[in-house]
Structure 1
Amino acid sequence: MVDADQTFVIVGGGLAGAKAAETLRSEGFTGRVILIGDERDHPYERPPLSKGYLSGKEERDSVFIHEPAWYAQADIELHLGQPVTTIDREARTVRLGDGTTIRYDKLLLATGAEPRRLDVPGTDLAGVHHLRCLAHADRLQGVLAALGRDNGHLVIAGAGWIGLEVAAAARGYGAEVTVVEPEPTPLHQAIGPELGQLFTDLHAGHGVRFRFGARLAEIVGQDGMVLAARTDDGEEHPAHAVLVAIGSVPRTTLAENAGLALVDRAHGGGIAVDASLRTSDPDIHAAGDVAAADHPLLHTRLRVDHWANALNGGPAAARAMLGQDVTYDRVPYFFSDQYDLGMEYSGWAPPGTYDQVVLRGDAGRREFIAFWLKDRRVLAGMNVNVWDVTGPIQELIRSGAPVDTEALADPATPLTAVVPRP
């Protein structure tokens, strides 16, 4: 049982932190819940920042997880616009930027991640953008609209999910778009080369230009404004704005200074947590983008920088803080919307971990499911414009058993029939 006079502190005002606070209340915790965020906005969801809100299809208020009044109604104390500067594990306190000290009985770190920076000349120009927080999306939405009106050029460094989603939004406004990517295909590290060409064709069909096998070497400007972007192959691309979308890094400085165990950056970085999302300190948990969990299903330590991990990891950590028996073993999941293509991806199969890709459906019409296999065992599945199949795809992954690849590829065979039964 948790005493009513206990204080649980959550550092991080994103989806993981807000859902953890909500779960503490729904599970009956009656002590103090203090949620601290370094942004002034109330907790919000990030997917609309590169999708619906950025494209102008959704209103700004749609991104928020709860109405502002909900926090007071749930008796959750908010400290917004206040970074936590230090954790004193011996005293079990956190210190805020304004000098306030708050004691905790249990602490959750949901500090998220931040955009990876590009280390080349010109990144200090006014037209260079990143996309991670709501303020970034606010600015970028106006930039894309202006580029569309003026036939302006956007250069995007990085053909990952954020880069491609912003490219789609920019084309929706009418902006000219060039994407620079060192790998031979988009999303190379996420889905491998076999499916990367699909996204090349999708975007090229909407007027996006790609420069593969190249990196940005310099951003050229005048009077503080962007004029062009030069790549390391000697090419110069016209640009009125540049988006740097080369990945993210977990925000671990607070944990590192507190002496918590971390994962090496070469292996994804993050705060090392066990299957119950507990850090090396039994009174401190971590969830969301910053947590590198020992995953019981995948038998590896994994940091997942996606919406579903925050949505589910925050509540799991909250239950573990309450002393419940928690094993966080959800199949990693994310989704993307680009033009008329909608997709969902379940599992984990980076290049080098699989030996076969099986397609079910019509890839030419962009209505299919792709499966990544190792020794006939499904590691991951991606459904493209095919819906209501996430459940059986994740069952296939969880089973860990060899499958009949011909049946897997046959749309006439229900996916539920392909799942091996004991």
Structure 2
Amino acid sequence: MSLDKLKLSKPLVASMTDAGFLTPKEVQTRSMSRILGGQDLLVVGPEGVGKTTTYVLATLMKLKYAFEEAPRALILVPDAEHVDLVLAQFELLNKNKTFRILGIDSRGAVDTQMNEITDGCDVIVAVPDRARALYLKLALNTNKIQLFIVDNAELIIKKGLQLPVVELANSAYKAQHLVFTELVHEKLTLMISPFMKESATTIEVDEIGEKEAEVYQQMLYMVPNFRTKLNLLTLLLNDEEVFDKVVIFVNTRLTAQTVYKNFNHTKEGEISIYRSLFFDDAGYDDIEDFKDNPDARVLIVANENLGDLDIQGIPIVLHLELPDQKETLIQRIVKREAEEVVSIVFSTDIELIEVKKIEQAVGERMEVIELPEDLKIVDPAPKTKKKKGEEEDASERGPAFHDKKASNLKNYNYSAGTKAKMTYKNKKGLS
């Protein structure tokens, strides 16, 4: 398919060709006509599918002429790094310098940025909190905004910048709204619902990279918060036959201690911490000692300053938290031996960003597993204090280890890796 299908101006087609874009991306063919037609749009797709190029092209097409005093396009991005990336894309495609494009973030002085805006600009690329500050100082006039664009919305939410986005969107009451994100979750819906039109269209582009390497079986639990993660972890580890040798990865040593303290340690040495932060916590300094001890069942490991760790021979690897660098997790799931290993990830909505990046890099989706029916979902709302004399409901606490249900009792003898796979295949209803 040629670029002519996008119905771009000749200068933009020339700029695209010069930049090496010879054919349009799927996201561009599916969304460009809707954007140019004035629709509100929610575009969902992984990194690298062409979302930024799409709205840069649309902005250059929609504005048509330049040099008005008030900006006509406001593009909100999560941080200064993304400001630079978007400005670079405009530089690449706005060859004849038709439009005045201004970047706004915390690296510049507010007074300087106020002067730059009032001197006149056509497009502003900004981080939400700084743009809001300039709006409140009456430097940013949103009355003539035609295009209100939110890019990397999932990262904006992760940074807690929803309020300035909503406030700015509501102030640009005449604008067409375009939101680009890698994933959709409840917090995103809550952010965009005050300003996105009911007629808004959602376009999903679900591209995934080619499979780069063979990986162990990957499974994913989606949970609302960390406390629910701990409850889920407790339920899973109740099955001592399946989870008979487990490594649990968290991000910090303090979190490792929190997870350790969450369990009722009925069996001495059953649960331990790798290189514990506190000397009185049960722990190992050498993972081989954990592997060799038949009574040691669960080892909690912090990614913090970890370095290389040989987890070969351990059949089940749990990631209670996702590491800062996706490569850290990927190197643990790449197949090196013929052994059977199951990797299980616990993810909240916010962490799904990292899950998507891992799936893109590996070239394979994680299998989403339904939450157990008896899992206690923790309400994130603050609890009211109990009045003096009121008893605490013991059912809310729940022991970390309890008697198994009859349905969980087993009398067969398989290897640990095989048992883990069979257990989770049964949960999915597969033979």
Give me the TM-score of the superposition, normalised by structure 1. Answer: 0.27
> Radius of gyration: which is bigger?
2
Q: Looking at both structures, which has the greater relative contact order when contacts are Cα pairs under 8 Å and sequence separation is at least 6?
A: 2
Instruction: Output the TM-score relative to the length of structure 2.
Output: 0.26
